[in-house]
Amino acid sequence: MALYKIIIIFLENAGKYSPSNSEITINITLENHQVDFQVADEGIGVPEEEKDNIFERFYRIDKSRSSEIPGTGLGLAIAKEYAQLNDAKVFVSNNSPKGSIFHLQMESIEN
């Protein structure tokens, strides 16, 4: 259930921070027993210096936009906590030419 909630948080953020006519894509890869679930958007992106901070409670990148884009700054912090509880990790990378890719990485379940 926690992993499902992380995915929902990623999708909600992608929708919130992307233009209404842009694409949001989901990609899942498996390499060396590592699953990488990705949600990519074409939104405003995350500046390099902010990438670690966005997973902290109540952190919002652009304080001036806080009134324009609803939210409390808790979603990604909750995603990080859920990931840690499941021995997984979350992080963000750039989506070229613009936007972000949010990653949920974890070990695959082997039979």
Digits of tens for pLDDT over the chain (111 positions)? 888 999 999 999 999 889 999 999 999 999 999 999 999 999 988 888 888 888 888 766 665 444 556 555 688 999 999 999 999 999 999 998 889 999 999 998 764
The secondary structure of the chain, three-state, reads CHHHHHHHHHHHHHHHCCCCCCCCEEEEEEECCEEEEEEECCCCCCCHHHCCHHHCCCCCCCHHHCCCCCCCCCHHHHHHHHHHHCCCEEEEEECCCCCEEEEEEEECCCC
pTM, to two decimals? 0.84
Q: For position 96, what pLDDT does the model report?
A: 85
What are the structural domains, with CATH classification, of the chain?
A: 2-107 (3.30.565.10)
